[in-house]
Chain A
Amino acid sequence: MREKTKHDLRLLLLGIVVYAAIQTLISIGFIQDYWERNIVYVCINVILATSLNLINGITGQFSIGHAGFMAVGAYVGAIMTVKLGLPFIVGIIAGALGAAVLGFIIGLPTLRLTGDYLAIATLGLGEIIRITILNIPYVGGASGFMGIPKLTNFTWAFFLMLFVLFFIKNFVNSTHGRACISIRENEIAAEAMGVDTTKYKVLAFTLGAAFAGVAGALFSHYTYIAHPASFTFMRSFDILTMVVLGGLGSMSGSIVGAIFFTGVSAFFADWPEWRMVIYSLLLISLMLFRPQGLFGNKELSLKMFGRLMGGERRDTAKGN
């Protein structure tokens, strides 16, 4: 236990060092607006990817409607700050709670489904959320919720990301997290061993939704606008792509996947007509040559580098 706390503290220190370094580079003007924006997007995408990884990778529940929860967070957060004039932190918490409540309500019946059926149901639910928002005049309907103050900055995004990362990391390493992993490995066996599968599936789903809500609130307060078109199932696919690129079940994989994805998008922004074509080809070739993702379900660590250097390879890709 002590060892683990020490490890956490080391990671936290590392996080603060990274923050200080990037913040300094921003302050002295070395990182310009364009890249600063992308760094904030990286933070938001890391939150999205790791929270989806909690549902898809850790608990093994194939959900592809994550953008819906992000939308709820974006809109609820914006209502708090714009319509009710509350501080940003209340907006974020409310966004997270709103998404969590919806995640719970949706998760309870939906998680009885498995595999592809669950995927399609969550995809449909994400779209239903979006279309419902589209039809609410109070939040701007089809033209979007405009006039949201730009409250998100690098500091907010980074520390919320750090919070989410630590939360999920410790959740995964707790009793509850192990229960979730057991569901991923074999749901029926887990149930036979006395794991309350429904409870843990809904728990993971609700937590994932809540963090997607946090990301949504950050997103809408960074882009001045919450627009239904930002939360289509294409956005859900983007998040899923980050998770799968990094490797399902690997948290560090999700982080690297989010950074990689944001980087590729930013890099090709100058060739908008080619951007998606190259992106799709990249996606296909990555899947063809490394279907288990960059990291499989391993975590990135110094030990892993050692193994890579030694040339020993163990494939733990899980087929289902």
Chain B
Amino acid sequence: MDSFLQQFYQQLVNGISLGSIYALIALGYTMVYGIIRLINFAHGDVYMLGAYVAFFATTFLKLSFFPALIVAMAVSALVGVTIERFAYRPLRNAPRIAVLITAIGVSLFLEYGGMLVVSPQPRTFPALLPTEIYNLGGVVINSYQIIILVVSLILMAILTYIVHRTKIGKAMRAVSFDNDTARLMGIDVDRVISFTFAIGSALAAAAGVLVGIYYNSIDPLMGIMPGLKAFVAAVLGGIGILPGAMLGGVIMGVVEAMVSGFISSTFRDAAAFGILILILLFRPSGLLGKYVREKV
């Protein structure tokens, strides 16, 4: 295999594992946006929180990978619901920009509060699983990449099941379709929103743990960039659409890996936003979204 193709496949593999992490975070963004039309800037910081919970669970409680993942997801779900209850719910009828500013405030609070509690220094995430490296015709795949992909796929399958096969999932879809009508139909909208935040935060936490084992390093500001990129991924796929978020996440991951592999890693972040601008200009409702004409 010539070296260009080899590098191409290598970046594809890297991109898909990075992309599945973006997809996990993007799902939370897309669900929250679909239901209360809020860009939840604090979502990236919930992802950071998940990584830290897993870090402490494994170093101090000596938990192994899967229990630590569950603990991180549970704690983050709780935090997500708390944030919604105390910061966003009181502003349900306020101007949208006020809620957005609050979200920025919550995000700053988690970042800098996190710095106070766990110190700004990056920490080394313990190696929880044995590393194995597979070589498929020159393309190197490490066992973490496989774990990331498998865990992400399982979580996405669970989410799809919840949204399409359970009662609460039906309620979620109803609320995102039309908040007021759903309320008239007897759906407890507040409870559905809490549940959405819980699921979204748990998924973000899982992504945080996966990033922790993948890069071995976590810090209190680690959520900012992935959070933004995951939002871009959600917009790319069509915001409010679950398969769109997954697709968008993977595309973002692959493009980012390609740009850092073939051009320069300094343009990695610019590429993400470049895609965003292009998508917004040519297909504002996202790849899988439908265009809705605005009326008076």
Q: A: which residues have CB within 8 A of B?
A: 56, 62, 109-110, 112-117, 119-121, 123-125, 127-128, 131-132, 134-135, 142, 186, 188-189, 192, 233, 237, 240-241, 244, 248, 273-277, 279-281, 283-284, 287-288, 291-292, 317-320
Contacts and interface: CB of A to CB of B under 8 A. Distances in A.
Interface string B96-116: 111111101111110111011
19 contacts: A62-B97, A116-B33, A116-B37, A117-B284, A120-B232, A120-B276, A121-B276, A123-B228, A188-B295, A241-B104, A273-B116, A275-B112, A276-B115, A280-B113, A281-B109, A283-B104, A287-B101, A288-B91, A320-B95
B277 A128 contact: yes
A280 B267 CA distance: 31
A291 B90 CA distance: 10
A62 B100 CA distance: 11
A285 to B, nearest CB: 9
Interface of B: 33, 37, 39, 87, 90-91, 93-102, 104-109, 111-113, 115-116, 228, 231-232, 235, 264, 266-267, 269-270, 272-274, 276-277, 280-281, 284, 294-296
A109 B280 CA distance: 10
A279 B104 CA distance: 11
B232 A124 contact: yes
- Could you tell me the dominant secondary structure of chain A's interface residues? helix
B235 A280 contact: no
Given A120-B232, A276-B112, A277-B112, A128 B274 contact: yes
A71 B272 CA distance: 20
A280 B95 contact: no
Contacts of A124: 232, 272-274, 276-277
B92 to A, nearest CB: 11
A116 B273 contact: no
Contact of A248 (B94, B97, B235, B267): B97
A292 B109 CA distance: 21
Nearest to A112: B281
A181 B102 CA distance: 25
